[in-house]
Amino acid sequence: MHICVIIPAHNEARFLAQCLSSFVSQSQPPNELIVVDDNSSDETASIAQKFAGEYPWIKLRHHQSANQHLPGQKVVEAFNFGLQHAQNYDLIGKFDADIILPPNYFEQMRNYFQSDWKLGVCGGLLYIKKEGGWMYENIADKSHVRGPIKLYHKACFQKINGLRAGTGWDTVDILLAKYHGFTTKTDASLKVKHLRPTGHGYSHLNHKAKGAALYKMRYGLPLAKIALLKMAVQAKNPALYILGLYGFLRAFFLKTERFVTKKEGKYVRQLRWNGIFKKLKVL
């Protein structure tokens, strides 16, 4: 299966060489890897160019984006820019520039997609450096395919109409994949090192955007409150709940454009409530 991976990269010189080295060390490398230099002011582009000069399947593209901080939106726009330069593919990946993959990552991905025609999204698990070792980055269920290491089957990617440009893109994609009858999978044996923990350097704007994203996904206020409370507890930061709720209500009063249709939203809410009731039964 032809794999194309796109890495949006903004000022990633600190991590990019380690990341790309893990790609070239794969037992079955992707057929095409596109690094999108998104307005970087450091050595990101030169590092990517060095790898591109040595490996023909690695390409560098330059994207000029807005200087302002736009959570979720900029990374998806850079990804979409890279997608315009992609060759034909069976699997399309959106990966971050601050990860180190195990050497069998894409070999396993090919095996999973080839053996299950319903599989729409697949990935490994992220681990962060903590207390001298590598520990699971516990900000999401292990069943959730995380944004920095996602592979989509082309049929699924087209059915969900690509990625939404904004915070929440890496949640709504999974929900829509399930809505359209695809399955998702995480492989716990594929431990990916995440060199910069999620949320590093997050601002109040990011937290408000999370609340707005829940509105765009048509969670409804009760579900949004539960989701925001969970985020606040995990982050050990009560302010995150207040900021997220403000973002949700602001999006509501501004009648912000939604990520999903009413029919899709009904499915999303039912899926989320079912998940909550299932966990309550276990407890």
Q: Phi and psi dihedrals of 259, rounded to 5?
A: -85, -25
Q: Residue 148 — pLDDT band, cuts 50, 70, 90? A: very high
283 — pLDDT class (breaks 50, 70, 90): low
Same structural domain, 114 and 236: no
Give burial (CB, 10 Å; 0-12/13-18/19+) of 111.
middle
- The pLDDT score that the predictor gives to residue 155 is 98
Whether residue 232 sits in one domain with residue 190: no
pLDDT of the residue at 200 = 52
As a whole number, mean pLDDT of residues 140-158 equals 96
199 found inside a domain: no
Structural domain ending residue among the three candidates 175, 194, 213: 194
Task: Show the beta-strand stretches assigned E in 115-157.
Answer: 119-130, 133-136, 149-153
Domain final residue, candidates 194, 213, 230 = 194
Shared domain check, 155 and 212? no
Statement to judge: residues 124 and 252 lie in one domain = no
pLDDT at 280: 83
The total of structural domains in the chain comes to 2
The reported pLDDT for the residue numbered 244 is 95
Residue 27 has pLDDT above 80, yes or no: yes
Task: State the pLDDT at residue 223.
Answer: 96
Residues 125 and 208 reside in one and the same domain: no
The whole-number pLDDT of residue 53 equals: 97
Q: Is the pLDDT of residue 252 over 60?
A: yes
pLDDT at 204: 57
Banded model confidence at residue 72, pLDDT cuts 50, 70, 90: confident
Structural domain ending residue among the three candidates 154, 174, 194: 194
Specify the CATH number for the domain of residue 185.
3.90.550.10
Q: What per-residue confidence (pLDDT) applies to 139? A: 84
Domain co-membership, 34 together with 143 = yes
Q: How far apart are CA 28 and CA 114, in angstroms?
A: 14
Domain holding 26, by residue range, is 3-194
What local confidence, expressed as pLDDT, does residue 282 receive? 67
Same domain, residue pair 226 and 184? no
Same-domain pairing of 78 and 23 = yes
| Structure confidence by residue, pLDDT tens digits, 183-233 | 999 999 999 999 998 765 455 567 789 999 999 999 999 999 999 998 888
